[in-house]
Structure formats: C-alpha cells, structure tokens
Amino acid sequence: MGEAFSPEEIIELAKRYNCEGIAFTYNEPLVWLEFARDIGELAHREGLFNVVVTNGYGTAEAVDLISTFADCVTVGLKANASQSFLKEHSGIPNTEPLFTSLQRLKRHDIHLEISDLVIPQGGDSLEEAGSLCRWIKSELGPDTPIHFIVFIPSHKMSTAQWTSQSVLEAHCEIAMKSGLRYVYVANFPGHERENTYCPNCNGMVIARFGYDIGSWNLDSENRCKACGYMIPIVGDLTLTPPEERYVPVVFPPMDLGIVCEGLTAFQQNKSDDASTG
C-alpha cells in the first residue's frame, strides 16, 4: 500500500536527502499532472530541478501544463513507436499524439530526451527504428539523446524474451547512422553505450556505470577536452556520492563479462580521479 504525501512533504524529503531535483516517473505523471505541477512549482522555489518521464500520450493542454514546471522531459516510447504493436498491446488507436506531443515539447524549448523500449517479437523492427530515428533527427534535432532500453519480461508478457544484446546494438547502429549524436543503452550496466562520446573526435566525455557518473573529460564550458567540441549538457555534472546509493541489478541474459569489465573500469576511473584530485 502507498503512503500519502503533500507537495510540501515531498519537497521536505527531497531536501533532507540532499536531492538536486525531483523526477516524476514510474507512474504516468499525465494521470496526476496537477499534483506534479504543485510539487514542481514548490521545487523550483527551493532551487530543485524537475524531470518528467511520460509516455507522451497527452493533449496539447497537458503538454503545455508540463512545460510550466519541467526542466527536462523524457518521453518513453515503446517498440519504436510501432503503430501496429502499440495498437495491439497498449490499446491506443494511433500513435500520432505521441509525435505531436514531442513536437510541442520541443517548441516549449524544454530539454527533451527519448527512450525506446525494445521489445522482442514484434517491437524490435530495425526498419521502424530507422524511421523513428530519422523523424527525431529532422523534427527534434540531432542532439536529442535516445536511450534504447532492454525489455524485462513481466506481467502479461512474462513469457516474452529479453532484448538480446545484438538487437539492442543494431538499434544503436541505426540511430547513429540516422545522424543522432547521443545514443545510449539502458538496463545494461557496463555496456559501452552507457557513456557519452564526443560526436567530433569520438573520445569518451562522460563515463557511467548504471545510474552513476564516474568521471568526465569536459572543461568548465562542457567542451570536449580532447578537441574543444561543445557538448550540449543541461545542468551540472555531479559525481556519484561516495556512499553507494544504488547497486544496479544485473539481469541473467546479460553478458557478465561486459558488466564486470565496465564496473572495474568505472571504479578504476573514480579512484584515479580521487588520487589526482
């Protein structure tokens, strides 16, 4: 059973735990948007940022309301926003509102990111992934980050398969070929596509493992230290606090070698940084 909190209590909790911002996520915030707005406005007054994670299936009025308090919006698409897949599994008659919402958020000049849950057996078409990425590049711009998420079988799709590494990487390949500059994987700690790479010289500019940032190779204006290319980062980069807040869960189908190597490299990076100050 859940617990009831007022907006004031949520802000108090965020401050008590030294949070820099609040993310409205997991439950769809479009369902409780006025409550999110009340929290978000208070958060801004206290110097906290707001991140809204939504499926994007909202009216123009709802999208406009998000824009009054969100600093960043992630629109979580599923199955490359495949019309046939979403009609069958999400019960929405057509996917047009998703794209309209994305265009509208872009016009509001909010930092916008896309995630795409890659679902095996029907929601992993590379052709549709290519169309989606080309649309994102032309309508939202090549700097729009995209995150391809590993599907974890659960609930009514418990017997479905996990997204394979090869299919996930093929999606990344298509996104990069489409001209998107910041392409990531999610739910795969240790994968090299958790890091940010400079689109100009291809050097790693932000090292990550799971939810943690380990180090970066950027100057104070977010330019790549190797070549000077400006990386359009919004907000401050912050190292993960020394005490471990999260231990990413490693899922059975993942290549454990990649996960372990990623973790070792990440920890090595962090201790190098600590020793050099």
* Sole window of 93-101, 169-177, 216-224, 245-253 interacting with Zn ion (rule: CB under 5 A): 216-224
Q: Which of 198, 206, 231, 259 binds Zn ion (CB under 5 A)?
A: 198
Tell me if 260 contacts Zn ion by CB under 5 A: no
| Closest approach of Zn ion to the CB of residue 227, in Å | 3
CB of 115 or CB of 200, closer to Zn ion:
200
SS3 letters for the chain? CCCCCCHHHHHHHHHHCCCCEEEECCCCCCCCHHHHHHHHHHHHHCCCEEEEEECCCCCHHHHHHHHCCCCEEEEEEEHHHCHHHHHHHCCCCCCHHHHHHHHHHHHCCCEEEEEEEEECCCECCHHHHHHHHHHHHHHHCCCCCEEEEECCCCHHHCCCCCCCHHHHHHHHHHHHHCCCCCEEEECCCCCHHHCEECCCCCCEEEEEECCEEEEECECCCCEECCCCCECCCCCCCCCCCCCCCCCCCCCCCCCHHHHHHHHHHHHHHHHHHHHHC
* By the rule CB under 5 A, 57 interacts with Zn ion: no
In the complex, the smallest distance separating the C-beta of residue 275 from Zn ion, rounded to whole angstroms, is 25
Q: Is 200 in the site for Zn ion (CB under 5 A)?
A: yes
Q: Whole-number minimum distance, CB 45 to Zn ion, in Å?
A: 38
Nearer to Zn ion, 117 or 224 (CB): 224
Candidate list 13, 201, 234, 260; residue touching Zn ion; CB under 5 A = 201
Region 105-164 residues binding Zn ion, contact defined as CB under 5 A = none
Q: How many residues sit close enough to Zn ion to count as binding (CB under 5 A)?
A: 7
Residues 226-245: x where in contact with Zn ion by CB under 5 A, - otherwise, as a string: xx-x----------------
Binding site for Zn ion (CB under 5 A): 198, 200-201, 224, 226-227, 229
